[in-house]
Structure 1
Amino acid sequence: MLEKIKGVNLGGWLVLEKWMTPELFEGTQAEDEYYLAHDLEKEAYQARILNHRSEFITEADFIRIASAGLNLIRIPIPYFAFGDRPPFIGCLPYLDKAFNWAKAYDIKILLDLHTVPGSQNGFDNGGISGVCRWGQDPKEVDFALSVLTRLAQRYRDHEALWGIQLINEPITEKMWGTMKPLERYPARDPKLAAGSGPLSMKFLQSFYLEAYTKLREILLPETVIAFHDAFELHAWKDCFLDHAFENVMLDTHQYLMFAEMEGTEQNLEAYLNYLEALGKEIAEVAAYIPVFVGEWSLFNSYAVGVDTQGGINPTQQTFDSNKQFSAEELVEVYQILWKKSVETWNIGEGHMFWTYKLNIDTINDPSWYGWDSWDLSRCLSKKWIS
């Protein structure tokens, strides 16, 4: 086991989000990966995807990650990883390379099933935006289970495998009401979105239990199985106490933009108070289950200089900022937030930053001002991270 998780996500590599790599979507109406594959001709789609996968993350990135003192990489995986859901392209050759690079540079990997057919949350990161119907289709639920078991079988004995996360950010009623995904991400095809709605906690716990049982039979005893908290950190106590889970951890995603949406004032003092209170909550949960922060970033509206309304990005809406900090002021703001955040996350088992890199131009395109705070490589180079 790792003493403390000091990790980073390889977001935007094998699972696409338009805001992270907008050039991949140029010339199309696609707002998500599902429609990118359907809007482009087969040859054009394959060329874009394969070129992106080959160039976006390379061995050099693993060297830099290791040199930064990080010990864990969370890799988002699409449901079509095995190449059995055309027109999407499987990604196993790149995943195999990642495992071998990780082994070479003494880094561990958490595999994260980031998308499922029909989406588990309606977000763009669920593969198709404005649609949330996966949990209503037993065949697709079974398909997700098959992806998890095949991943477990393929990488079971690899030295770099630290754990497998059963599904990323499934959405239940609480976050459905807060984020309003069908409003934030209007469905391109209303018929495809018909009947969309949040998952029930009963369904999600049942899915976790079945997936856990299947994977525990395959994986080595020391391999972690991670449950995402569905944005309900305190909803899991009975579940964990009622079942004799072995080597299970709870993943919670914590962003300041969530705090802003819940009414936290957009200033440094309010953010620090929010993190202080959150630390007490993490300590409470950690008393009965190991918990880590699988996603977080330095992004916040205060540093951007305008209310981003919960992280609405420049591919969705352009914000005009009247305030910009000096380079020295940004170093101070972000270092304060970095130190307090890491201190808070380490009350649990540690943290994984979202994300390692972005393909956006925050220098020449003013609409992206402040969005480099999502990018760990830029945070390091700008000395926002001490």
Structure 2
Amino acid sequence: MLERWMTPSVFAGTDATNEYELSQTVDGQARIQQHRQTFIQEADIKWLAQAGIRLLRLPIGYWALDDQPPYLSAKPQIDWLMDMARQYDLQVLLDLHAAPGAQNTSDHSGSGNTGNVQWYRRTNQQKTTQILLDITNEYGEHPALWGVELLNEPLVNTRRERWQLWWWTRQTSRTLRSKLPPHVRIVTSDCYQPAWWSGRVGSNTLDIHHYQCFSDTDNQATSLTHHRQMLDQRSGEYRNYSRQQPLIIGEWSAALPPGVASDSTEYYHCQSQLAVPANVDAWLYWSYKTESPGAWNFRDCYSKGWFDNMLS
């Protein structure tokens, strides 16, 4: 999945704000193919393995296995990554990051109309289940597969939508579970509502995304004290959730709001998160790398020593 802020050079000279729009520009598909062939190579996988990483979360779109105009299939790259992961003793969580109709309003959710969530239409839910089944049939027996994530950060605005999503999650999980080996996990997003979803995902693994740079409360804070207090509070909450089902932090980073962020404060924030027990089975940094240095770029942070002695 492409996001313009992460790889602006791919979008340079266009008005496109997301992959959907870029795919329809004159040379957009060629740009996307060039990016896929060059941005991640075997040297990256080798580096990750040597850095102590054991699990990769790969964000993919509903067009992953087959062309869905204007989107191009990414199957050759996924096949390659799965085989590279096996070669370097890594595992992969295949995360459906973009669903038919768009499951949220973000630029990565699979629609050029980012202000309109249409995933709750029954036909889009059915398509999503079939896509997940296709992914399961294609990669379910691959030795590098750690899990399949049903949806990334679906937006839930009403009680009706929440129950719709819960019912779909339950039915789709049963379908996939009958096809997957027992050791492969099915992962469910907490929709940024962990208190409601914890205990309601059956044997699935609950995915919580831990950020302290987006909420109004976090943005209004002017010191690291607030962020350390929030971290301690959430660590206790995660401990409680982990008693109800397996838990992962599917996304986290050292990023802080603009009013607090600096190289030193974000280093401290990173160290604080590594020091506080997360009470989870896995945690995954967003993201491995971007075109710019900084807190969203794990490789850059690692090279600055932010993770020394923490990944053994």
TM-score band (shorter)?
over 0.9
For the Cα contact (< 8 Å) 2:213–2:219, is it kept in 1? Answer: no
Match of 2:55 in 1: 72
Q: For 1:305-324, what per-residue CA distance to the aligned partner results, in whole angstroms no more than 9, with x for missing partners? A: x47xxxxxxxxxxxxxxxx9
Q: Which runs of 5+ in 1 are unaligned?
A: 1-14, 175-197, 308-323, 363-371
Q: Which runs of 5+ in 2 are unaligned?
A: none
For the Cα contact (< 8 Å) 1:342–1:351, is it kept in 2? Answer: no
Matching residue within 158, 164, 167 for 2:151: 167
Match of 2:297 in 1: 375
For the Cα contact (< 8 Å) 1:134–1:141, is it kept in 2? Answer: no
Secondary structure in structure 2 of the residue aligned to 1:271: helix
Q: For 1:211-252, what per-residue CA distance to the aligned partner results, in whole angstroms no more than 9, with x for missing partners? A: 101110110011000000000010024524xxxx44x21000
Equivalence map 1:51-70=2 (5 Å): 51-70=34-53
Q: Is 1:151 matched with 2:135? A: yes
Match of 2:289 in 1: 357
Report the CA distance shift for 1:261/1:200 in structure 2 as closer, same or farther (over 3 A).
farther
Match of 2:230 in 1: 274
Match of 1:184 in 2: none
Write the distance in 2 (CA, Å) between the matches of 1:249 and 1:342: 21
Equivalence map 1:186-197=2 (5 Å): none
Q: Is 1:297 matched with 2:253? A: yes
Write the distance in 2 (CA, Å) between the matches of 1:166 and 1:55: 28
Identity percentage over the alignment?
A: 30
For the Cα contact (< 8 Å) 2:254–2:267, is it kept in 1? Answer: no
Aligned length in residues: 307
Q: Which residue type is aligned with residue 278 of structure 2?
A: N
Secondary structure in structure 2 of the residue aligned to 1:126: coil
Secondary structure in structure 2 of the residue aligned to 1:339: helix
Report the CA distance shift for 1:47/1:53 in structure 2 as closer, same or farther (over 3 A).
same
Equivalence map 1:129-148=2 (5 Å): 130-148=114-132
Cα RMSD over matched residues? 2.0
Q: Is 1:285 matched with 2:241? A: yes
1:51 CA drift (Å): 0.6
Write the distance in 1 (CA, Å) between the matches of 2:272 and 2:33: 39
For the Cα contact (< 8 Å) 2:253–2:296, is it kept in 1? Answer: yes
For the Cα contact (< 8 Å) 2:271–2:306, is it kept in 1? Answer: no
Q: For 1:46-100, what per-residue CA distance to the aligned partner results, in whole angstroms no more than 9, with x for missing partners? A: 2101110010111111111111111100000111112231121000100000001
Match of 2:16 in 1: 30
Match of 1:337 in 2: 269
Q: For 1:116-166, what per-residue CA distance to the aligned partner results, in whole angstroms no more than 9, with x for missing partners? A: 122111011213353333333222211111110011011111110000000
Write the distance in 2 (CA, Å) between the matches of 1:299 and 1:260: 15
Q: Which residue type is aligned with residue 336 of structure 1?
A: Y
Secondary structure in structure 1 of the residue aligned to 2:236: helix
Q: Is 1:96 matched with 2:79? A: yes
Matching residue within 139, 149, 174 for 1:213: 174
For the Cα contact (< 8 Å) 2:100–2:119, is it kept in 1? Answer: no
TM-score by structure 1 length?
A: 0.75
For the Cα contact (< 8 Å) 1:115–1:168, is it kept in 2? Answer: yes
1:263 CA drift (Å): 6.1
